[in-house]
């Protein structure tokens, strides 16, 4: 005898769940796609605002600055405590074309990876600092001693292999950590005087930014006369 076909109640529920799942999955995929698209647009706009899409070259580490006017603040100038020679640019208020105050924002001059971030830097005691200055003036400085005299630092390894060293920072921006990517124009820290005579005495005087550019283990400007260095620096820096 032929058994009549009957729709079981459970089948109706299963069919309804199947239709619902197809609908919600489709809606979720559309929503996820829209979110991904929105995030991609946001990241693209953020990167553009940080200068990643701009011309190749370094930005000045303090926006609006220029190559220091004073030859003593250029790489290659005489320093008794830096193995006899300054290895970077020293940006001081006025001499570099812009005011540089205690806490002035400092930016990444190029995109790359943060390879050193001195979050826990502690100033030397004044008497220890003076003893160190006298010792390195007579004997020369080791890498460790130079790092003590550079104060609080941030180093960036750029996408094309240069090492950018920022020294004498007052503070480092929250969220900046070793190993994370950084983009040209991103604020990474704030100008100060750490590692200097003023810094170890706890004052806010003598603010400067010491900025070194290392290419193939040699600092930019090594062996160049001031006029030659300024010509080379005009090709190195592209803004802002």
pTM, full prediction:
0.77
> Do 107 and 221 sit in the same domain of this protein?
yes
Alpha helices in 140-213 (DSSP H): 143-150, 197-200
For position 239, what pLDDT does the model report? Answer: 80
> Do 150 and 93 sit in the same domain of this protein?
yes
> Do 218 and 106 sit in the same domain of this protein?
yes
For position 55, what pLDDT does the model report? Answer: 59
SS3 214: strand
pLDDT tens-digit profile, the chain (240 residues): 444 445 444 444 444 434 544 444 444 445 445 433 433 343 344 334 454 555 589 999 999 999 999 999 999 998 766 557 889 999 999 999 999 999 999 999 999 999 999 999 999 999 999 999 999 888 888 889 989 999 999 999 999 999 999 999 999 999 999 999 999 999 999 999 999 999 999 999 999 999 999 999 999 999 999 999 999 999 999 987
Domain membership flag for residue 120: yes
Interatomic CA distance for residues 106 and 208, integer angstroms:
11
Domain interval for residue 109:
58-239
> Do 78 and 178 sit in the same domain of this protein?
yes
SS3 209: strand
Domain membership flag for residue 122: yes
Domain membership flag for residue 88: yes
> Do 186 and 227 sit in the same domain of this protein?
yes
For position 81, what pLDDT does the model report? Answer: 62
Domain membership flag for residue 225: yes
Domain membership flag for residue 2: no
For the chain, the domain total comes to: 2
CA angle 222, 144, 122 (to 5 degrees): 120
Closest CA to 185 of 193, 173, 177: 173
For position 14, what pLDDT does the model report? Answer: 43
> Do 235 and 125 sit in the same domain of this protein?
yes
> Do 74 and 112 sit in the same domain of this protein?
yes
> Do 28 and 131 sit in the same domain of this protein?
no
> Do 88 and 188 sit in the same domain of this protein?
yes
> Do 86 and 169 sit in the same domain of this protein?
yes
> Do 80 and 176 sit in the same domain of this protein?
yes
The CATH number of whichever domain residue 213 belongs to comes to 2.70.70.10
Domain membership flag for residue 135: yes
Domain membership flag for residue 3: no
Domain membership flag for residue 202: yes
Closest CA to 93 of 84, 104, 83, 85: 104
Supply 31's token pair.
């929503």
For position 237, what pLDDT does the model report? Answer: 96
> Do 18 and 97 sit in the same domain of this protein?
no
């Amino acid at each position: 005898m032929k058994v009549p076909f009957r729709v079981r109640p459970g089948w109706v529920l299963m069919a309804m769940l199947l239709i619902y799942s197809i609908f919600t999955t489709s809606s979720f995929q559309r929503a996820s796609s829209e979110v991904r698209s929105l995030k991609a647009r946001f990241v693209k706009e953020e990167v553009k605002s940080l200068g990643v899409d701009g011309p190749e070259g370094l930005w000045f580490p303090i926006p609006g600055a220029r190559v220091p006017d004073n030859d003593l603040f250029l790489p290659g100038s005489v320093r008794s405590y830096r193995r006899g020679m300054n290895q970077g640019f020293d940006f001081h208020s006025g001499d570099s074309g812009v005011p540089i105050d205690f806490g002035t924002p400092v930016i990444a001059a190029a995109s790359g990876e943060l390879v050193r971030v001195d979050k826990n830097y502690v100033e030397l005691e004044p008497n220890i600092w003076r003893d160190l200055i006298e010792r390195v003036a007579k004997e020369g400085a080791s890498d460790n001693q130079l790092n003590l005299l550079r104060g609080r630092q941030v180093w960036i390894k750029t996408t094309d292999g240069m090492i950018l060293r920022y020294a004498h920072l007052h503070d480092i921006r929250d969220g900046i950590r070793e190993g994370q990517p950084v983009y040209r124009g991103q604020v990474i820290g704030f100008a100060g005087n750490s590692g200097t005579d003023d810094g170890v005495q706890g004052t806010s005087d003598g603010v400067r930014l010491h900025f070194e550019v290392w290419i193939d283990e040699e600092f930019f400007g090594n062996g160049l006369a001031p006029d030659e260095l300024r010509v080379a620096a005009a090709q190195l820096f592209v803004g802002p």
